[in-house]
Amino acid sequence: MASSCSHVLIYIYVCRRKLISDIFSIVIFSGKISTLIPLDFESLITYKLTIQAVDINNDVLPDPKQQKTAWAEYTINMQNVNDIPPVCNPSIYEQTIYSTLTGSVPIVTISCTDKDSASLHYSIVGGNTNDRFVSIRNQVYSRNTLSYHSEGVNDQTTFELLIQVTDSEDGKQSIHLTTTATVIIHVVPWTTTFPTTTTQLTVGVCAGIHEQ
């Protein structure tokens, strides 16, 4: 709204909801609207403001009979941005497995959510000695059976994996936020015996014959 040399406009923010009065403010002579606190898309996506413009006509003492008033309704629509990182609950997982566990059986399933993103990406970023484990979506698997032969290289019996969880994998957001979860895996070595021959052996006792 414009002002002239003989007319002065003041702008009044008319609050119809107490919640909004704590969020927005208006500069009385310019009509500039600003926020008092950061806005949160997850709390409210649309705000409706009612603005009153009053022509006080340069009166030293404003005369309500001479003042002209106009009203305007403004709608502020929020645009969602990625400002909340993923949350894992729980953030620490602990599981005990046998060393013979195959790679087709998941060891743990990690539970994480994100208010800004529908899809999450999981990757092992630490503790994966000898690359023994792999993450597929939100599950951790063993690549193959672990080795604990006395004549070979033995794997450790406790692994502490650091899983990085990243949001916005759908490509719609330019900002990617991450969090981490910890997976502790205890391995019980299972000693296997090597198969023997399948041929049945007969054990006999030979007695000597003595002539009289």
**In the chain, count of helices (H) and strands (E)?**
1, 14
Instruction: Specify the pLDDT at position 122.
Output: 96
Q: Which of 43, 77, 111 is the last residue of a domain?
A: 77
Contact 71, 51 (CB under 8 A): yes
- Measured between alpha carbons, how far is 94 from 123 in angstroms, rounded to an integer? 17
Instruction: Specify the pLDDT at position 70.
Output: 85
User: Which residues, other chains included, contact 145 with Cβ-Cβ below 8 Å and sequence gap of 6+?
Assistant: 99, 100, 101, 102
- Cross-strand bridge partners of residue 145: none
Q: Which domain does 20 fall in, by range?
A: 10-77
Per-residue pLDDT of the chain (212 residues; tens, 9 = 90+): 444 445 566 667 666 555 666 788 888 888 888 888 888 877 888 888 888 888 776 555 666 666 778 888 888 898 877 888 999 999 999 999 998 888 899 999 999 999 878 889 999 999 999 899 999 999 999 988 787 776 666 788 999 999 999 987 555 556 789 999 999 999 998 765 444 445 554 444 444 444 44
Instruction: Specify the pLDDT at position 102.
Output: 87
pTM of structure: 0.62
In a domain, 194, yes or no: no
State the total domains in the chain.
2
* Single-letter amino acid code for the residue at 88: C
Residue owning tokens 């600003």: 34
Q: What is the CATH number of the domain that holds 61?
A: 2.60.40.60
Tell me the two tokens of residue 47: 């705000």
In what helix (H) or strand (E) does residue 136 lie, and over which residues does it extend? strand 133-136
Instruction: Specify the pLDDT at position 89.
Output: 96
Q: Are residues 130 and 91 in the same domain?
A: yes
Half-sphere exposure (Cβ direction) of 56: Cα atoms closer than 13 Å: 13
Tell me the two tokens of residue 170: 């759908």
